[in-house]
Amino acid sequence: MDFITILKSANDLIWGPPLLALLVCTGIFLTVRLGLLQVIKLPKALKLIFTAENEGSGDINSFGALCTALAATVGTGNIVGVSTAIGTGGPGALFWMWTAAFFGMATKYAEGVLAIKYRSIDAKGEVSGGPMYYIEKGMGKKFKPLALFFAASGILVALLGVGTFPQVNAIAESVKGAAGVDVRITGIVIAVCVALVIFGGIKSISKVSEKVVPFMAVIYIVFTVAILISASDQIIPALMSVFKGAFTPSAAIGGFAGAAVSKAIQMGIARGVFSNESGLGSAPIAAAAAKTKWAAEQGLISMTGTFIDTIIICTLTGLSIIVTGSWYGEAKGALVAQQAFASILPTLGPILLTLCLTLFAFTTILGWCYYGERCLEYIVGVKGIQAYRVIFVLMVAAGAFIKLEAIWIIADIFNGLMVFPNLIALLALSGVVVSETKAYMEYKAQGKKAA
């Protein structure tokens, strides 16, 4: 039995029906308890991105916290992850990404609320928060082993999973395909750029994210919309294949071997979680740093991250891949999306995708460095942060040399290890989320009456 086979067996065990069911059911449970908040309050949440009061303690403003979280979530999962999901599970995988994202918005909201409610201040006077804090402070000291397990898993994800290998590998392969640059050179350049930012801490990461994230999102959306407009006659058939493939097996086409419904569900939910990180417990680490007095306010802002990441960006990627037919060819990973772009813009397309992928992946690396740093701080205090940053940069440099198949499996495994303790806490503390939500809504209602 080779290493890849062992990894696949471990991944299938972790990402089996129990975890997928727990993820979706937690989202459904929170959706019911919060009264479809992700639908009813979505317009208010989108407005708050730009109008939040930014009063109260915190290291960065609410927009900066959202951009830092989006920096970590809008990454290769939106391009390579969607390509992998559709290439393995068929177009139906996109439907299950939507499903996971819809209920995941309620999950992300709850994470943001609890992040603010139970955040702490470290020895350097900086804000620390996230699942490890709301597990220990919300559920009680006896659950600290669960909090430590989450923090340890978070460090592993940052160093060996989402935070390094998949991002660097995607950049290196895309740059090599578009410009012929050796992956080793790309890996070293990325590592140097990362080092220049992360040693400045959350404020430095936030400043870069606030500038890069909106720019890269707009550029990517414009060009994927251009692809869909140029192939507008294929949009309806593409949507039909998404809904059909979600509930019936996908037949073999071209280089696509066909897929059962179970594979579409597994790939759609797993890649959706990898992309938007709802339920993973990472985003609340950034949310905790926001300057706000109201936990529910930051919860609403955090919720928009899943909407932007999956409902908008992943959908545009998925439909672009389907309408151009690149998903059933022989290409894998970023090359699938690259072929989609090249089919409409033969010369400029691959260059644009490489630029977007590079920015997406680079900001994800920055965001995950911070997540891992906060997890380490929870376990050993601030004394280990500088050493962690050095190790992180070295892992980034090494990411260009790791085999693609192993990268995604390792990332999935560590993601799954983070999910379990976080979802347990969200379910246990759902009453706190509801009470904080009611308090905020009553406060806003009173403010309107007074006005």
Residue 293: exposure state from Cβ atoms within 10 A (0-12, 13-18, ≥19): middle
Per-residue model confidence (pLDDT) at position 240: 92
* Domain spans of the chain, in order of start: 7-450
Per-residue model confidence (pLDDT) at position 258: 57
- In whole angstroms, give the CA distance from residue 372 to residue 414: 12
Per-residue model confidence (pLDDT) at position 451: 41
Per-residue model confidence (pLDDT) at position 450: 44
| AA letter at 152 | A
Q: Which DSSP symbol is given to 35?
A: T
Per-residue model confidence (pLDDT) at position 43: 92
Report whether 362 contacts 216 (CB < 8 A): no
| Mean pLDDT for back-to-back runs of 10 residues, the chain (451 residues) | 80 78 90 94 88 66 73 69 80 89 94 93 82 94 94 89 78 76 85 87 78 82 88 90 83 60 79 78 86 88 89 90 79 73 78 80 86 91 90 86 70 81 94 94 72 41
Please list the alpha-helical segments (H only) found in 328-401: 334-344, 348-380, 385-398
- In whole angstroms, give the CA distance from residue 83 to residue 75: 13
User: Helix 201-230 crosses helix 315-324 at what angle (to 10 degrees)?
Assistant: 30
Per-residue model confidence (pLDDT) at position 439: 92
CATH topology for 7-450 is Amino acid/polyamine transporter I (1.20.1740)
| AA letter at 340 | A
Q: Tokens representing 190?
A: 């990325």
pLDDT in tens, 179-236: 778 888 888 898 898 898 888 877 788 788 778 878 888 888 888 898 899 888 889 9
- In whole angstroms, give the CA distance from residue 25 to residue 31: 10
- What's the distance, CA 70 to chain centroid? 7
For 19, other C-beta atoms within 10 Å of its C-beta total 20
For 437, other C-beta atoms within 10 Å of its C-beta total 23
Question: With helix as H, strand as E and coil as C, how does 136-168 read?
Answer: HHHHCHHHHHHHHHHHHHHHHHHHHCCCCHHHH
- In whole angstroms, give the CA distance from residue 99 to residue 365: 27
- In whole angstroms, give the CA distance from residue 103 to residue 201: 32
